[in-house]
Copies of this chain bind each other. A is one copy, B any other.
Amino acid sequence: MTDTDTNSWRGVQSELLRRINEKEWPAGSLVPNEVDLAEEFGCARTTVNRAMRELADAGLLVRRRKAGTRVATHPASRVVLDIPIIRLEVEQRNAEWRQSLIEKTACVPPVRITSRLGLDPDAQMLHVRSLHFADNHPFLHEDRWMNIAALPGVERVDFSAVSSNEWLIENAPYTTGDIAFSAMNADAALADLLEAPLGAAIFVVDRITWDKDIPITSVRLSYAPGYRMNTKI
């Protein structure tokens, strides 16, 4: 038992979590009942109940009315996605890659970009948009904002010669990021770029990366219709 404060439900929860994570309570094992835990922790039974409810909601504990509470045996399925650079993704499909630079402008981005990156709303960023092709068919549209202050010289890079995707991998290693996958209907501009019907279902990847706590880039990749991201479980 750590010296966590077990008078609060958060303290109890963190102790329960520790026992689960360190396998002190192995997967599938029966967890002591709430009355016994309350006595052990010197807290109210409702405190234990509150702490366990959240863990059950999160799928770490499995509560059965008659059979008591057990440590979950089934972590959800875990999937590892290796996201290659775009050129390689095209080449791995045995297609020839090329890109076409659509825009490169230093300007103040929409607030939704600066706010998610944690940047000053007046900060200029470099807006780089390119279309990537596979065998001369549009493969995806890359819509990227780059933090000029964190990327010395980025304004002078010729992104028609090197894709911003590859330039960043070589010049700005990131340490953390958020990624989100979704689907959206193509608007007129995107449909036109991707040579897709208006309203076509588009697979979208949004990614934001930081180097420690410095925001580096925010990018949206919009794939031409029919794209599938495959992996193994």
Q: Which of B79, B181, B225 contacts A203 (CB 8 A)?
A: B181
> Which one of A105-113, A123-131, A169-177 is at the interface?
A169-177
Contact A81 B82 (CB under 8 A): no
Q: Which of B76, B91, B173, B227 contacts A84 (CB 8 A)?
A: B76
| Residue total for A at the interface (Cβ-Cβ under 8 A) | 58
**Complex CA distance for A108 and B169, rounded to whole angstroms:** 49
**Complex CA distance for A169 and B13, rounded to whole angstroms:** 20
Contact mask for chain A residues 212-230; partner B; CB cutoff 8 A; 1 contact, 0 none: 0000000000010111111
Contact B75 A231 (CB under 8 A): no
How many copies of the shown chain assemble into the complex?
Answer: 2
Residues of B within 8 A of A77 (CB): 82-83, 174, 177, 179, 207
Q: Which of B14, B84, B185, B233 contacts A179 (CB 8 A)?
A: B233
A44 close to B (CB within 8 Å): no
**Complex CA distance for A157 and B129, rounded to whole angstroms:** 52
A17 close to B (CB within 8 Å): yes
